[in-house]
Amino acid sequence: MKKGNRRRALSREPQPAPIKLDPFQEKAIAALLAGHSVLVAAPTGTGKTLIAEKLLEKILAEGKGAVYTSPLKALSNQKYRDFCRLFGREKVGLITGDLSINEAAPLLVMTTEIFRNWCFANPEMLDNTSHVIFDEMHYLDDLERGTTWEESIIFAPGHIKILGLSATVPNVREIAVWMGEIRGSSIEVIEEKKRAVPLKISWISPSGDVLDEDQARTEVEERREVRRTRRLRAGGSRYNRYNEDFIPYS
Amino acid sequence: MSENSPTCAEVIETIQDHLPALYFAFGRGRTEMLAEELGRSFDFLTGRERQRAKKMIKEAEENCPGLFTLRRQNLRRLLLQGIGYHHAGLPPVLKDLVERLYEQRLIYVLFCTETFAVGVNFPAASTVFDSCRKWDGREFRSLMNREFFQMAGRAGRRGYDRVGRVYIRIDERYPEQTGFYNELDVEPVRGRLMISPNTVLSLLYWKTDEEIKRFLEQNLAVYQNNREIWQLRREIRELEEKEKRLAACFCPEKDTPSCQLYRLLLRRELNHLKRRKHRHRPGARERREELRRLLQTARKHCDHRICAEAEKKLANVTERKNQLLARIHHLQRNSRDFEEEFQNVWRLLEDLGYVRGRELLPRGKFALELHVQEILVTELVFSGILLEASAEEAAAILAGVDYQPGRDEWVEKCPFSLEHVVRLRKLLLKSGVPEHFCVWSHLPAALAAAWYRGASFDELMQKCSLEEGDIFSMLRREIDLLRQIERAARDDVYLADFMRGIRQLLDREEVALVGV
């Protein structure tokens, strides 16, 4: 084994940037504080969570309740730990299918399934809840679980305001109009298309070179060509080409 | 196993100035294999860092003896080189350790599956895609734009990196599978409503007719469908206006023999009929004469190019209109009839004795509290199968509810017969219950039974080909189901106690949740 092959990042231990709200975060928070339901669509890592935290801070200070739903149990557990650290253990509860802690707390972290069930069976338990936060709301599109999000949106008690956090989707406005129509109160859309850190996509060729898109497309074409001729040579007979991905008239 | 180029060591060599990297691979075995391979030639940690990593690993081992089973010894070694892997097959405690090491910047290359990209934000300097195809439970398919950017977007740490670097490997052997993605092409969110037995029972029990109607007629899928049809109709109306305007350009002599455009067509047909091939066809001679006669009409002298242009435009407009009409037709034919789907499930529930009209019968009230395989579980209880079983057998039976075995999974044979459950399932299918409403597998039975009897987690591992994480989530799902049945039991104290007893025995040691 070849050991001690020490290769490392050039810039190490960089310092985190100070927390300053982006314009879209400011806008979302302002709309929420003004009492609107809000749908935020922004790329991952742009700080959607911060919006939720600011809202929760205010709700808890006013002595009201809130529900935070997430699509995965592991995520709910993690959020529960985060919120305990932020707001104090006594203020936060956790309810998933196989676990419940501090159910009477003002801030409840749950799976979306539990929230949906409450909307049907115990809406009175949500009387003091002013907001529900749907994390990863694009799960609406999930083949198996989308129904849960939809039933939650449709049947969440009317007095509850919604904060939806979603990855970038092209039709957020359409979703918001639908939510507004079915719930009978309008939803503001806050969209951030720009990433906090822009992405640069490159391709790595079989020989280890970094390529841009055009180069990559050429490379892919050439490789396919090479494989095709290799196969032809190996096959010998000219009829073989019709068995492979050879398209004679293209 | 020989690796296709570029090998992951070559890839990492290329991007070594942009670490830490999340290296996405599709398949758990693949993440482990790649990590192993990289570990053969790379060691990223300095002495100090290795000490820190060692300390964190030691602490985790003290809190959880036997953390690194024989199978995971390689992970322990790799973690001390700054390399890790992370997938759903790992036990939660180990996943947690890997995540914490990553957060502490003690992992430079983390090989992971898609699950690492959902939710909690673990940013990296770069993300690498081993391939752009994944197994979605049925087939291998290319990643959608949304999935790709969910993962790729982990690249670029705020305040640290100027850009987030994303690398896609072009595999020497499968160049055509290389992915090309554009953030502008991210797929829209579509409504995916499904009508489950619980949905129908909940609607019947808690909601008014009015509310049910609204639910069926205004859900997202219907809304999107209607909206698209409405937009298409509007566009068609505009096209029809345009058609009218274009038609007004033509002169009144259009399509008469004096029109130059029409004469052009006639002449073309004449030439066609003069050819040797067509000359002697029946009726050809008469038609030729007719055409000659028509062409003797005086030609109108006009700028026929205006008409020609309008005609071309008109053809385009008509074609576009037909496309839109076809789309509307397609939407209308394929739009789902939620009313009918609702009625079907309702009728099924009525046939099975869960409801009478809008009234919920005992079975219906029981199923109202269940959220997974409602009908199958209710029948397990009401048929007496569950109550007549010993606790161990009940644990084994319930483990299989909604369990869909993965490819090549095997588990030791269950020590007792589960034939009666198989029979019940067949009976349900025969009485019209669709397959997806009674999903059950005998596979995890032996594991749940052994765990109930007090076996150690290692013993379970020896009984099957499942990974720690799979066994964990199978038993957690069963605990969830046991809680549901306990709630549904209401004043049936015996059933509730029975379920609680099983649950308390299952919810221990490795299967218990940590850190909450």
**Chain B: nearest CA to A187, how far in angstroms?**
15
Taking a C-beta distance cutoff of 8 angstroms, is the pair B209, B375 a contact? no
Residue of chain B with shortest Cα separation from A166: B189
A154 to B215: CB separation less than 8 angstroms, yes or no: yes
What are the pLDDT digits (tens) for A59-91?
999 999 999 999 888 888 889 999 999 999 999
Residues of chain A under the 70 pLDDT cut: 1-19, 234-250
Here the ipTM equals 0.82
Which residues are bridge partners to B133 per DSSP? Answer: B142
- B37: closest chain A residue by CA: A1
Q: Is the pLDDT of residue B3 over 60?
A: yes
Residue bearing the bigger pLDDT, A75 or B504: B504
pLDDT at B515: 65
Q: Which of B192, B377, B472, B473 to mutate to test the interface with A (most CBs of A within 10 A)?
A: B192
Maximum Cα–Cα distance across chain B:
106
| Geometric angle at alpha carbon A196, from A10 and A186, rounded to 5° | 165
From A73, A60, A40, A186, select the one nearest A129 (Cα to Cα). A60
pLDDT band, residue B398 (cuts 50/70/90): very high
Q: Give the pLDDT band (50/70/90) at residue B403.
A: very high
State the average pLDDT over residues B429-440: 94
Residue B106 scores a pLDDT above 90: yes
Chain B residue numbers with beta carbons less than 8 Å from the beta carbon of A220 are 170, 175-176, 178
Residues of chain B above pLDDT 70, percent: 99
Sheet order of strands, B109-112 included: A210-211, A199-204, B164-169, B126-129, B21-24, B109-112, B83-86
Q: Which of B45-59, B65-79, B185-199, B455-469 has the lowest mean pLDDT?
A: B65-79
Confidence of residue B117 (pLDDT cuts 50, 70, 90): confident
Cβ distance A182 to B214 less than 8 Å, yes or no, reads: yes
Q: What pTM, to 2 d.p., does this model score?
A: 0.84
Give A163 or B334, the one with higher predicted confidence: A163
Which band of pLDDT confidence, cut at 50, 70 and 90, is reported for residue B212? very high
**Cβ separation A224–B176 shorter than 8 A:** yes
pLDDT value of residue B64? 81
* The predicted structure's pLDDT at residue B121: 74
Q: Which of B36-50, B331-345, B390-404 has the highest mean pLDDT?
A: B390-404
Residue-level pLDDT at A43: 87
- Residues 6 or more apart in contact with residue A23 via CB below 8 angstroms: none
Nearest CA to CA, how far is A244 from chain B (Å)?
Answer: 13
Selecting from A11, A198, A220 the residue whose C-beta is nearest the C-beta of B170 gives A220
The DSSP secondary-structure symbol of A90 reads G
User: What does the pLDDT read at residue B448?
Assistant: 96
Out of A101, A201, A220, the one facing B175 most closely (by C-beta) is: A220
Q: Residue range B488-502: average pLDDT? A: 95
Which of B161, B206, B214 lies at the smallest CB-CB distance from A120? B206
State whether A142 and B192 contact (CB < 8 Å): yes
Outline where B258-303 has alpha helix (H): 260-274, 276-279, 284-295
